[in-house]
Each structure stands twice: as structure tokens, then as C-alpha cells.
A = this chain, B = another copy of it.
Amino acid sequence: MAQNKKDQFEKNFLDIAELCKAFSHPARIAIVKVLAQKNICICGEIVEILPLAQSTVSQHLKELKKIGLITGEIEGPKSCYCINWKRLNEFSGLLKNLIDTMHSMSQSCCQGGIHGKKK
């Protein structure tokens, strides 16, 4: 059991869910911030700042790259990871748009229906 049911939902939801998953661990948020703040591209420098092993940081970078939030090029022994601002802003926009859309279609709840019958 415990089959994967994620594909049975709206494609739009899956995209947002995967973006959220990328940010669902503080280490990955921290990595993105380091890339922005310190103007750092190098995996090794990130490793020095964060309390994580090199292999762990590399895995997190891989996930961030997979979803498109960062880009990464390897030039021999050096890496160059950069933030993909377009995708990051898209993430923020998709979430805001989702919430705004939901808000606009919502009506008052628990006031007129069965549940409003508070004694």
C-alpha cells in the first residue's frame, strides 16, 4: 500500500507542491539565501557556512536544481550555482495567485448553514 496518488490531482497543484517541497527544508532555504547574500557560487563555501556535510549539501543543491530554482554548471573541479530569479519569482507568484484565486471564489462559511446553528 501507500501508493503514490500525487498524479491524481490538478497538474497546477503538483507544480506548486513540488516547488513548496523544495522549500520544505530550512537547509535548502538557507542554501538559496547564501547563494544570494554572499554572492557565492561554490559548493565548498556553502558547506563551510552550513552545518552539513559536503555530500548532503550537494544533494540539496541537486534537488534545488532539479525543480529549477537554481542553475548549476560544473567547470571541472569548480562549480557555479546561481539563483534562477525567474523561477523563484514564479514560485512566489504561483502561490499568491493560488491563494488570491481561492479567496475570490470563497464565500462565508459556518454562518448560514447547518454549522451556523450555534446554540
Contacts and interface: CB of A to CB of B under 8 A. Distances in A.
Assign chain A's interface to a size class.
35 or more
A110 B23 contact: no
A5 B27 contact: yes
A48 B35 CA distance: 45
A36 B105 CA distance: 7
Contacts of A92: 92, 95-96, 99
A22 B95 CA distance: 13
A86 B32 CA distance: 27
B114 A78 contact: yes
A91 B92 CA distance: 10
Nearest to A11: B26
A17 B24 contact: yes
A62 interface: no
A23 B107 CA distance: 22
A83 B102 contact: yes
